[in-house]
Amino acid sequence: MSKKPIEPFRIKVTEPISLPSEEERLAKIEEAGYNIFRVKAEDIFIDLLTDSGTGAMSQHQWAGMMLGDESYACGRNWYHFEATIKNIFQKRFVLPCHQGRVAENILFSTILKPGDFVPNNTHFDTTRANTMHKGGVAVDLPCPELDDETSDFPFKGNIDTEALSALIKKVGPERVPVVVMTVTNNSVGGLPVSMANIKEVRQICDQHNIRFFFDAARFGENAYFIKKHESGFEDRTVKSIAQEMCAYADGVMMSAKKDGLANMGGFLAVNDEDLAGQLKELLILIEGFPTYGGLNGRDLEAISIGLQEVLNEDYLAYRTGQIEYFGMLLQQAGCPIVSPTGGHAVFIDAGKLLPQIEPAHFPGQSMTVEFYRRGGVRVVEIGSLMFGGEDPNTGEILSPKKELVRLAVPRRMYTNTQLEYVAEIAGEIVKDREKLRGYKITQEPQFLRHFTCTMKEMVGNPAKVPSD
Ligand SMILES: *Cc1c(COP(=O)(O)O)cnc(C)c1O
Mean pLDDT by 10 residues, the chain (468 residues): 85 97 97 96 98 98 97 97 98 98 97 97 92 93 92 95 98 98 93 98 98 98 98 98 98 98 98 98 97 97 98 97 97 95 96 95 97 98 87 75 95 97 98 96 87 91 50
Neighbours of 64 (CB within 10 A): 22
Q: Output the pLDDT for position 466.
A: 47
Q: Which of 6, 94, 155, 85 is nearest to 310 (CA)?
A: 85
Q: Output the pLDDT for position 395.
A: 75
- 256 catalytic per annotation: no
Please state the domain extents for the chain: 22-51+313-464, 59-309
One-letter identity of residue 33: G
What CATH number is given for 22-51+313-464 in this structure? 3.90.1150.10
Taking the CA of residue 101 as reference, the ligand 1 atom at the shortest distance is: 9
For 17, 69, 239, 304, 346, the CA distances from 83, given in Å and listed in that order, are 38, 16, 15, 9, 34
Does the Cβ of 187 fall within 6 Å of ligand 1? no
**Which residue puts its alpha carbon closest to atom 6 of ligand 1?**
100
- 215 catalytic per annotation: yes
Alpha helices in 90-141 (DSSP H): 100-111, 125-133
Determine the topology of domain 59-309 in CATH.
Aspartate Aminotransferase; domain 2 (3.40.640)
Say whether the peptide bond before residue 184 is cis (omega within 30 degrees of 0): yes
- Quote the DSSP letter at residue 460: S
Does the Cβ of 127 fall within 6 Å of ligand 1? yes
- 51 catalytic per annotation: no
For 62, 151, 193, the CA distances from 425, given in Å and listed in that order, are 34, 30, 33
- 60 catalytic per annotation: no
For 110, 118, 163, 201, 250, the CA distances from 113, given in Å and listed in that order, are 9, 11, 22, 22, 19
Taking the CA of residue 187 as reference, the ligand 1 atom at the shortest distance is: 13
Q: Which of 130, 402, 164 is nearest to 286 (CA)?
A: 130
C-alpha count within 13 angstroms, C-beta hemisphere, residue 235? 1
Ligand 1 mutation target, pool 125, 181, 258, most atoms within 8 A of CB: 258
Q: Output the pLDDT for position 461.
A: 55
C-alpha count within 13 angstroms, C-beta hemisphere, residue 58? 19
